[in-house]
Amino acid sequence: MTRPLVAIVDDEPAVLRALKRVVEANGFSARTYTSGEELLDSCLDGVKCVVLDINLTGISGIETKRRFPPSERQLPVIFISALDSPKVQQEVLDAGCSGFLRKPFTGSHLIDAVHKALDRRHP
């Protein structure tokens, strides 16, 4: 059985490594990116869910989601951020997120959010 592929985008190398370890330890494959531009320049074929930091160097996570090609617009996105203001929450909702986690969060919260996002996409 193929392990679902999760794309993870964060510009902090230590956070990126930690998130990849958690995702892979829980039965998923992971592909990592250090910017929104890098994600958008890549081939998203096979990606089932995206974990996307909001505050990135370059374009923001929210802008990255807005720039998804039409064929990828339904891809579930879990936004992550150290910020949790009403403005950020509204932007996340407007961008059509599948989940939002405020840093720091536990590995189990991340995995729960990924499972929920995948369940919504494939009922």
What gap in Å lies between CA 58 and CA 89, rounded to an integer?
20
CATH of the domain at 14: 3.40.50.2300
Token look-up 């990116």 returns: 33
**Residue 45, pLDDT score:** 87
CB atoms within 10 A of CB 100: 18
**Residue 32, pLDDT score:** 98
What gap in Å lies between CA 57 and CA 11, rounded to an integer?
7
Taking only the tens place, the pLDDT of each residue in 71-99 is 898 999 999 999 878 888 888 888 888 99
What gap in Å lies between CA 80 and CA 102, rounded to an integer?
6
What gap in Å lies between CA 30 and CA 47, rounded to an integer?
9
Positive or negative, the CA dihedral 69, 72, 76, 81 is negative
73 against 12, higher pLDDT = 12
* 36: exposed, middle or buried (Cβ count in 10 Å: 0-12, 13-18, 19+): buried
Tally of domains within the chain: 1
Range of the domain at 48: 5-121
pTM: 0.93
How is 26-68 classified by DSSP, letter by letter? TT-EEEEESSHHHHHHS--TTEEEEEEESS-SSS-HHHHHHT-
